[in-house]
Amino acid sequence: MKTTHHSWKLLVWLFVCSLGITLFTARIAAQDEGWWIMRADYGFRNQRTDVTDILRDLIARGGVNGRVAVNNQTMGGDPAVGREKSLRIFARNRRNEEREFDFREGGFVDVGMFAVRRDDFDDRGPGRGDHDRDDRERRDSRGVAIIRGYYGVQGSTVNVTDRLQAMVRDGVLAVYVNNANLGGDPAIGAGKVLIVIYRYRGEEQATAVREGNRLVIP
C-alpha cells in the first residue's frame, strides 16, 4: 500500500511538471511566432475606434510590466459609453497566417505575444527621433509630455508628434483639431481623428479627438 501511494505521488508530480513544461513552451512558441499587428480596434459591436497606432506604440514601449491594459484610458477614449467593450487585434505571423485576438475591457495584452516594427508607425525620419523626444519629455516633466501623435484616418495618417510637442505651454497641450493646426489634410473629404499618446504624472495614457473638436491635456 505504501508503494502504491508513492507511485501515485510520482505520477502526479510528473503530470504537473509536464503541464508546466507545456505551458512554458507554449508561451515561448507564441513569442517566437512573432505576431505582427496589422490592425486593431476597440469598442462594442459596430461602435469601434481604430487603435492600431496607439496599440503598436504601447507594445513597442513594453507596456507596464510587460502588459498593456485594455481600458478607455489606454485606448484613447470610450467609443461606446455604458457598453462592455473589447479590443480586437488582427495579426499575421512569419508563415503569413492571419489570426484575430480578442481581449475584454479590463483585461491585459501580453506584450511578449506580439512583435512591432517601429518603422511601421514612426515616420519622423532620421535625426529627429528618441533623443529630441527625451529632451522634450524632461523639459515637460512637471506637466504633460507628448510621446506620439497621429492625425488622419486609418491607412492615411501623418505623424504630428513634433508639432504637438511644440504646442505644449506650461505643461499643458491645448489645440483645436483641424487641418490648419496639424499641418495639412492627410485624407481630403474624410472625417479625421487626432490620436495622442502622452505621459502625465509618470503614467502613459492615450486619447483620441475627432476633427473639429478641441483637445486639452491634462
For the stretch 96-111, pLDDT in tens is 889 999 999 999 999 8
pLDDT score recorded for residue 174: 94
Q: Which of 98, 96, 211, 92 is nearest to 150 (CA)?
A: 211
Whether residue 117 has pLDDT greater than 60: no
Span 111-130, average pLDDT: 55
Whether residue 177 has pLDDT greater than 90: yes
Paired strand residues for 22: none
Instruction: Work out whether strand 214-217 and strand 173-176 pair parallel, antiparallel, or are unpaired.
Output: antiparallel
Paired strand residues for 196: 149, 207
Integer angstrom CA distances of residue 145 from 76, 82, 90, 105, 196: 16, 30, 30, 26, 10
Whether residue 209 has pLDDT greater than 60: yes
What is the identity of the amino acid at 25?
Answer: T
pLDDT band at 191 (very low <50, low <70, confident <90, very high): confident
pLDDT score recorded for residue 77: 81
Integer angstrom CA distances of residue 178 from 78, 164, 165, 212, 215: 21, 13, 16, 6, 11
Span 150-169, average pLDDT: 87
